Amino acid sequence: MINLGNSGLELYLDDDYGLKSHNKKVIIPEPGVRRMHELNEVFLEEPELVCNDAAYFMYRGIYHDGDREIFEKNNIRYDITVIPPRKIRNEFIKTLGHRHPCAEIYEVLNGKAIYLMQNEEEAISTGVNSSEVMYILRNHDHVTINPSGEVLVMSNIVKSDIESDYGIIKSKKGMSFFFIEEDYEKKFVQNNNYKETRLKIKNPPNFLFMPLYNSFLFNPSFFTNL
């Protein structure tokens, strides 16, 4: 069991990657499941087997029952994604990746994440530890990588009426860089389907001083302007 009290909600993760709460007023929807075969086209190397195994779990629209009105009024959604540790050949497991016309804020609740975001000019990599956050710029493709042997649990806040665009990443067979381990060295390698792209390494921002969920309750107008 992994205690996720640092989320601002009474949450925990069971041994089967199920998100639970001891508080019956915390509303947790059934998860969406991204299957391994859905990710085949965005890995550096084609997996040896096409399988229906779960790659990661997406819990969209979590809230305490008493906070439902403020989320609906502001058109905001609080999600949690669970990414178990795994490698595909020598590449670390990652999300499919997408972009949308608004910004998005992520918070790592357990484990470590590498967030990779890009536009037509450059790619930016940011390593984020537990209780740190990441700000994804609007109209930037982005993926989340689990580069460790721990379960990665992250929350995010995003506008609830946006649609994610997966087209560019799928057409290029992934982001502009892949994150792999080779000869015991973890490193990025270029995706040859892109023209040569600059990769910048940046530290995570430091602008939230309470859990992401509580930050929204404290100042919802900040998030409605993403």
Q: pLDDT tens, 126-137? A: 999 999 999 999
pLDDT at position 197 is 81
- Give all domains of the chain, ordered by start, each with its CATH number: 2-224 (2.60.120.10)
Instruction: State the SS3 of the chain.
Output: CEECHHHCCCEEECCCCCEEECCCCEECCCCEEEEHHHHHHHCCCCCCCCCCCEEEEEEECCEEHHHHHHHHHHCEEEEEEEECCCEECCEECECCCEECCCCEEEEEEECEEEEEEECCCEEEEEEEECCCEEEECCCCEEEEECCCCCCEEEEEEEECCCCCECHHHHHCCCCCEEEEEECCEEEEEECCCCCCCEEEECCCCCCCCCCHHHHHHHCHHHHHCC
Q: pLDDT tens, 64-80? A: 999 999 999 999 999 99
Query: How far, in Å, CA of 119 to CA of 126, rounded?
Result: 15
* Residue entry with tokens 């609007």: 138
Compute how many other C-beta atoms are within 10 angstroms of the C-beta atom of residue 72. Answer: 12
The residue count for the chain: 226
Q: pLDDT tens, 2-52? A: 999 999 999 999 999 999 999 999 999 999 999 988 888 899 887 665 577
pLDDT at position 45 is 81
Does 145 have pLDDT greater than 90? yes
Whole-model pTM? 0.93
Does 195 have pLDDT greater than 90? no
Percent of the chain's residues with pLDDT above 90: 72
